[in-house]
Amino acid sequence: MNLTISGHHLDLTPAIREHVESKLVRIRRHFDHVIDIAVILTVDKLPEKEKRQKAEINLRLRGKDIHVESIAEDLYAAIDTLIDKLDRQVIKYKNKLQDHHHAAIKHLPEQESLSAS
């Protein structure tokens, strides 16, 4: 698995990098077939004297790409919200894969009983 963390208008500190990597462990625990992860952290300076922190992630899985983004006033809060959203989508994708395989097995005994008749 390749992990790329980049920052736009932001210096990536080791603390930010460590925070992102520690949060991504949760994703790997749920689903370990991840091919590539690209994290982009951005700070937008708005004219209203407030800063908008944006975190986005592109997660490549076998057969699916997941894109999630989160915006908050604090970068750590944006990263936490991002990982929560990504976690829900990965679990949904994993359940969809598992349900698909179980549906095929469920129909197998019916086909055997029809061929035996």
pTM for the whole thing? 0.77
pLDDT band at 76 (very low <50, low <70, confident <90, very high): very high
**Residue 99: band (very low, low, confident or very high) from pLDDT cuts 50, 70, 90:** confident
Tens digits of residue pLDDT in 31-69: 778 889 999 999 987 776 566 899 999 999 888 899 999
Total domain count, the chain: 1
Q: Cα–Cα distances in Å, from 10 out to 23, 53, 83, 109?
A: 20, 10, 20, 58
CATH number of 33's domain = 3.30.160.100
Amino acid at 41: L
Strands (E), 9-62: 34-45, 51-61
Higher pLDDT, 99 or 100: 99
Q: Which domain holds residue 106?
A: 2-116
* Whether the predicted pLDDT of 6 surpasses 80: yes
